[in-house]
A and B are shown apart, each in its own frame.
Chain A
Amino acid sequence: MSTVEKEVAAGRGSARAVAIASSLGRFLVIAITTYLGLLAVTFFIGRVIPIDPVLAVLGDRAPANVVERTRREMGLDLPLIEQFYIYVKNALNGNFGISVLTTNPVMTDIRRALPATTELATLGTLIGALFGVPLGVLAAVKRGSLIDQIVRIIGLIGYSVPIFWLGLLALVLFYAKLQWVAFPARLDVVYEYTFTPITGFYLLDSAMQGQWDVFYDAFRHIILPASLLGYFSLAYISRMTRSFMLNELSQEYIVAARAKGLSETRIIWGHALRNAAVPMVTVIALSYAGLLEGSVLTETVFSWPGIGLYITNSLQNADMNAVLGGTIVIGSVFIAINLLSDLLYRVLDPRTKVQ
């Protein structure tokens, strides 16, 4: 390599470093403002909308001096901006206050509930991707055929059906009538005392400990809610896969591959799907985030002890600390997945790299 070439390469390298640094900087700004926005909205919901948070805690019969003291203890005599600062600091430390309903710190409750939600959403996304991607590819390859129509209808119904209603009907059919699955809960009562979870993911824990009877029982409990969530992510994933694949199949490199005489199987699964895989990663990540949110209604129907059920139970008891804590945690995970999938897209797709 001549010196000139080296200089050019070095110059290109530093230009690239600057570009990477600036896009990283932009990413950080977006991440920080989004999180601050989430905290600002929850702060607004918790402190500003209720006419008087003190009354919400004490009721309207408390004597005036108690009201005054509580107001000071809650920091409500401070200027709003200072209150917000304290609120952000507490939230960053994972301090969301005490749950009125369970009398535990909200964070402790959430830490206990999070693995249940994660296990459900993960299995749901796996089911959705496992069936959704091949269905979408088939629909794109056989465009306009019967299978394309069927995939379209499956997707449309998935977009239109109330998830809690489908869950109730599924319970009637598969639990009450056919008895294929277990009753709504995470485990049979028998195992609640003999089984000690390690990670909180029951399927994983029981498999690690070799307790296959527990594994089977956990599976019988999770399979119905996970399949329901899976259906919803299938509706989204198959629709997006179809449109990405149609886009790829109309590209010239596909014509070139056909001209070379490659088999249709190889062209579809080896060439087209591989190029569609990059946006697919984003879609699957987004559908995972969507399932975390969708778990609120599903968990209520299936008595699944995750964050969704925690939030709805707290709602029914006007336990705002718990509701807002749960909102912040799910919101944070949701935002993080959004941002990371965006970042991943940039890293994976060579076209978005800086020249």
Chain B
Amino acid sequence: MTASDAGPLSRRDWLLSERPASRMQARLGRAYVAWRRFSANRLAFLGLLIIVALLVVAALAGVLAPYSPTFGDLKNARLLAPSAEHWFGTDDLGRDILSRILYGSRWTLYVVILVAIIAAPIGLLVGTVAGYAGGWTDAILMRITDIFLAFPKLILALAFVAALGPGIENAVLAIAITSWPPYARIARAETLTVRNSDYIKAVQLMGASPFRIVLRHIMPLCISSLIVRVTLDMAGIILTAAGLGFLGLGAQPPLPEWGTMIASGRRFVLDQWWVAGAPGFAILIVSLGFNLLGDGLRDALDPRSGDQ
């Protein structure tokens, strides 16, 4: 921040120019304004830090973890209390809980990212097509969306996993199937606001196909509100995945997934509370991070709050 302030004054002016000379300048200007608004929000910044830390930990788990996540010292290190050697203690198989939590961050990211790249495009496609096509297509697609929206998500995900069989891939699939409807609603609402605007008319006059209009001229406009919503949903996705893991339907032991770790620590919770306590705390911190980040992004990117 100080670098840009201390630099030539014109850089800020260039970014905030009301008559951008190029598309890139306009884009950079918008990004700059959004960043300024975002970084002014301290809680949102904290959220961003948490998520960056999650990414770093997931990438460097092999370097950061002091012990192996899957093999423990069964002879000497069963159910040890937190100490200088094992910061978060050890579990019933003598495995270091800190190392397992560090590796577990990979599985959390795996679930969150996969759900997002499955559910968001489905929602985006359904919403933009419904909004642009209108008529019967819209009515039918939105009725299906509303039906899915009216279901209890966790229960439905449970039933799906029950049929598909337990496992982290099936948990991802079940969560994705139950989480696309809000994205479809958002995409449709955005589509309805732009579908009658002049620039769409202009592209239509130039002879663009409906396919091209939806893909190139409508979808990009839905992306920012979709990103906000997906970020806000991340916490819910993590909690659902952990819940499935806790019920024995998500990731299977010995995978160091946090929900599964709580489930296996449950047996000792009255005496060795840290076995279940530490992974739950990790879940809490990461979902808090996504919630704070999502709130901040919403405030920063909200199209209704103007450009400046």
Binding site for B on A (CB under 8 A): 30, 33-34, 37-38, 41-42, 45-46, 49-50, 156-157, 159-166, 168-169, 171-172, 176, 289, 292-294, 296-297, 300, 311-312, 315-316, 318, 320, 323-324, 326-327, 330-331, 334-335, 338-339
In B263-304, the 8 Å CB interface with A consists of 266, 269-270, 273, 276-277, 279-280, 283-284, 287-288, 290-292
Give Cα A311 to B235, complex, Å.
24
Tell me which of A42, A157, A165, A176 contacts B288 (CB under 8 A).
Answer: A157
- Known interface pairs A157-B284, A162-B242, A165-B280; A330-B163 also in contact (CB < 8 Å): no
Are B291 and A297 touching (Cβ within 8 A)?
A: no
- Expressed in whole angstroms, the minimum distance between the Cβ of A173 and any Cβ of chain B is 9
Are B152 and A289 touching (Cβ within 8 A)?
A: yes
- Known interface pairs A162-B283, A162-B284; A315-B249 also in contact (CB < 8 Å): yes
Are B284 and A161 touching (Cβ within 8 A)?
A: yes
Give Cα A300 to B245, complex, Å.
13
Can you sample 14 A-B contacts with CB below 8 Å? A30-B146, A37-B144, A37-B147, A159-B291, A162-B239, A162-B242, A162-B243, A162-B280, A165-B284, A168-B266, A169-B276, A293-B152, A296-B247, A335-B151
Contact string, B224-265, partner A, CB cutoff 8 A, digits 1/0? Answer: 000000000001000100110011110000000001001000
Are A165 and B262 touching (Cβ within 8 A)?
A: yes
Are B247 and A315 touching (Cβ within 8 A)?
A: yes
Binding site for A on B (CB under 8 A): 143-144, 146-148, 150-156, 158-160, 162-164, 235, 239, 242-243, 246-249, 259, 262, 266, 269-270, 273, 276-277, 279-280, 283-284, 287-288, 290-292
Q: A-B pairs with CB below 8 Å: how many?
A: 139
- Expressed in whole angstroms, the minimum distance between the Cβ of B184 and any Cβ of chain A is 15
- Known contacts A34-B147, A160-B235, A335-B150; 12 additional CB pairs below 8 A are A37-B147, A38-B147, A38-B151, A156-B288, A159-B235, A160-B239, A161-B284, A164-B262, A169-B280, A331-B152, A331-B155, A334-B151
Pick the most buried of A49, A164, A172, A327: most chain B CB atoms within 10 A of its CB: A164
B159 contacts across to A, CB distance below 8 A: 42, 45, 323-324, 327
B148 contacts across to A, CB distance below 8 A: 37
Main SS of the interface on chain B?
A: helix
A315 contacts across to B, CB distance below 8 A: 158, 162, 247, 249
Are B235 and A168 touching (Cβ within 8 A)?
A: no
Are A172 and B284 touching (Cβ within 8 A)?
A: no
Give Cα A34 to B151, complex, Å.
9
Are B269 and A296 touching (Cβ within 8 A)?
A: no
Are A49 and B155 touching (Cβ within 8 A)?
A: no
In the A-B complex, list the 7 residue pairs whose CB atoms are closest, starting with the nearest: A165-B280, A37-B147, A160-B287, A293-B152, A49-B163, A160-B288, A334-B152
- Known interface pairs A160-B284, A162-B280; A327-B156 also in contact (CB < 8 Å): yes
Are B277 and A169 touching (Cβ within 8 A)?
A: yes
- Expressed in whole angstroms, the minimum distance between the Cβ of A143 and any Cβ of chain B is 15
Give Cα A338 to B153, complex, Å.
14
B146 contacts across to A, CB distance below 8 A: 30, 34
Are A320 and B163 touching (Cβ within 8 A)?
A: yes
Give Cα A268 to B52, complex, Å.
42
- Expressed in whole angstroms, the minimum distance between the Cβ of A83 and any Cβ of chain B is 16
A312 contacts across to B, CB distance below 8 A: 158, 247
Are A34 and B150 touching (Cβ within 8 A)?
A: yes
Give Cα A161 to B283, complex, Å.
7
- Known interface pairs A165-B276, A172-B270, A315-B162; A296-B154 also in contact (CB < 8 Å): yes
Q: Which residue of B lies closest to A330 (CB)?
A: B155
Give Cα A56 to B292, complex, Å.
45
Are A165 and B150 touching (Cβ within 8 A)?
A: no
A339 contacts across to B, CB distance below 8 A: 150
- Expressed in whole angstroms, the minimum distance between the Cβ of A120 and any Cβ of chain B is 16
A289 contacts across to B, CB distance below 8 A: 152
B247 contacts across to A, CB distance below 8 A: 296-297, 300, 312, 315
- Expressed in whole angstroms, the minimum distance between the Cβ of B88 and any Cβ of chain A is 14
B153 contacts across to A, CB distance below 8 A: 293
- Expressed in whole angstroms, the minimum distance between the Cβ of B105 and any Cβ of chain A is 15
Are B273 and A169 touching (Cβ within 8 A)?
A: yes
Pick the most buried of B235, B246, B276: most chain A CB atoms within 10 A of its CB: B246
Are B150 and A338 touching (Cβ within 8 A)?
A: yes
Give Cα A38 to B159, complex, Å.
12
- Expressed in whole angstroms, the minimum distance between the Cβ of A313 and any Cβ of chain B is 10
A172 contacts across to B, CB distance below 8 A: 269-270, 273
- Expressed in whole angstroms, the minimum distance between the Cβ of B282 and any Cβ of chain A is 10
A38 contacts across to B, CB distance below 8 A: 147, 150-151
Tell me which of B143, B155, B246, B262 contacts A293 (CB under 8 A).
Answer: B155
- Expressed in whole angstroms, the minimum distance between the Cβ of A50 and any Cβ of chain B is 6
Q: Which residue of A lies closest to B144 (CB)?
A: A37
- Known interface pairs A49-B163, A50-B163; A33-B147 also in contact (CB < 8 Å): yes
B266 contacts across to A, CB distance below 8 A: 168
- Expressed in whole angstroms, the minimum distance between the Cβ of A163 and any Cβ of chain B is 8
Q: Which residue of B lies closest to A171 (CB)?
A: B269
Are A327 and B158 touching (Cβ within 8 A)?
A: yes
A294 contacts across to B, CB distance below 8 A: 154
Pick the most buried of A297, A320, A324, A326: most chain B CB atoms within 10 A of its CB: A297
Give Cα A294 to B266, complex, Å.
19
- Known interface pairs A37-B147, A156-B291, A157-B288; A331-B156 also in contact (CB < 8 Å): yes
A49 contacts across to B, CB distance below 8 A: 160, 163-164
Are B259 and A162 touching (Cβ within 8 A)?
A: yes
Give Cα A216 to B245, complex, Å.
35
Are A162 and B152 touching (Cβ within 8 A)?
A: no
B143 contacts across to A, CB distance below 8 A: 33
- Expressed in whole angstroms, the minimum distance between the Cβ of B130 and any Cβ of chain A is 16
- Expressed in whole angstroms, the minimum distance between the Cβ of A47 and any Cβ of chain B is 9
Are A331 and B151 touching (Cβ within 8 A)?
A: yes
A159 contacts across to B, CB distance below 8 A: 235, 287, 291
